[in-house]
């Protein structure tokens, strides 16, 4: 069975990170992954995160499986935080996923199931894994330019590139990285 799997090219981002790690020069800066690193090149676990993990571990009374959508109380609270207290629970659906890439794959599968002819419009530049995740779900991906002009978003260029978008298409924005 496994011999039928196609040979997939590696993620160029991780290939570049491997080259970076193999480079023995002291004067180098890792700008590949958008995470904070200290002066030693380490990504520290912030004290607030450590405190929250300890608190959650102390409050846990079971390690049983949760529902597929995750912790329902957390989901309801995060929806209210993002959408406001007046948002109706029956007008939104909140689920937890494993990381951002996991969330994107769940989203891609949902779009592919509900609207398979939708085009995903991805920013250029954009995060390198967005396109293959969407294409892996069988979706078509197009790009639109996302750049600054006079230290502001060049919205005219965005709109020009999105001229071919149609109703039902999806615009994928990567707002930030941790």
Alpha-carbon span 65 to 53, nearest angstrom: 18
Burial class of residue 111, CB neighbours in 10 A (0-12, 13-18, 19+): buried
Cβ count near 166 (within 10 Å): 8
Distance, in Å, from the CA atom of 137 to the CA atom of 132, rounded to the nearest integer, reads: 9
- The answer to whether residue 27 is domain-embedded is no
The total of structural domains in the chain comes to 1
Q: Is 95 helix (H, G, I), strand (E, B) or coil?
A: coil
Does any domain span residue 119? Answer: yes
Q: Is residue 97 part of a domain?
A: yes
- pTM for the full predicted model: 0.66
Q: For each successive 10 residues of the chain (178 residues), what is the average pLDDT?
A: 77 80 85 75 89 93 82 88 78 81 91 95 86 94 86 88 94 71
Task: Identify the pLDDT of residue 178.
Answer: 43
Best CA proximity match to 59, nearest among 45, 73, 46? 73
- The domain that holds 94 is classified in CATH as 3.40.640.10
C-alpha–C-alpha distance, residues 81 and 148, integer Å: 30
In a domain, 53, yes or no: yes
- CA 96/CA 94 separation, integer angstroms: 7
Asked if residues 111 and 118 have their Cβ atoms less than 8 Å apart, the reply is yes
Answer whether residue 164 is part of any domain: yes
Q: Which domain holds residue 106?
A: 47-59+71-172
CA–CA separation, 87 and 90 (whole Å)? 9
Q: With respect to residue 153, please indicate whether it lies within any of the assigned structural domains.
A: yes
Residue 15 lies in a domain: no
Query: H-type helices in the chain, by residue range?
Result: 12-22, 47-59, 72-83, 99-114, 130-136, 155-161
Residue 64 maps to a domain: no
What's residue 134's pLDDT?
94
């Amino acid at each position: 069975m496994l011999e039928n799997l196609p040979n997939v090219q590696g993620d160029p981002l991780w290939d570049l990170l491997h080259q970076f790690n193999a480079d023995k020069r002291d004067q180098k800066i890792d700008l590949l992954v958008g995470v904070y690193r200290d002066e030693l090149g380490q990504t520290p676990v912030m004290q607030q995160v450590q405190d929250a993990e300890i608190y959650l571990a102390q409050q846990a009374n079971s390690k049983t499986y949760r529902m597929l959508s995750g912790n329902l109380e957390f989901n309801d609270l995060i929806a209210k935080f993002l959408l406001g207290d007046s948002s109706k629970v029956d007008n939104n659906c909140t689920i937890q996923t494993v990381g951002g890439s996991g969330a994107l794959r769940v989203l891609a599968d949902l779009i592919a199931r509900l609207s398979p002819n939708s085009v995903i419009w991805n920013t250029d530049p954009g995060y390198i894994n967005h396109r293959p995740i969407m294409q892996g779900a069988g979706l078509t991906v197009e790009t639109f330019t996302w750049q600054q002009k006079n230290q502001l978003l060049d919205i005219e260029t965005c709109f020009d590139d999105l001229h071919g978008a149609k109703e039902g298409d999806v615009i994928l924005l990567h707002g930030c990285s941790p």
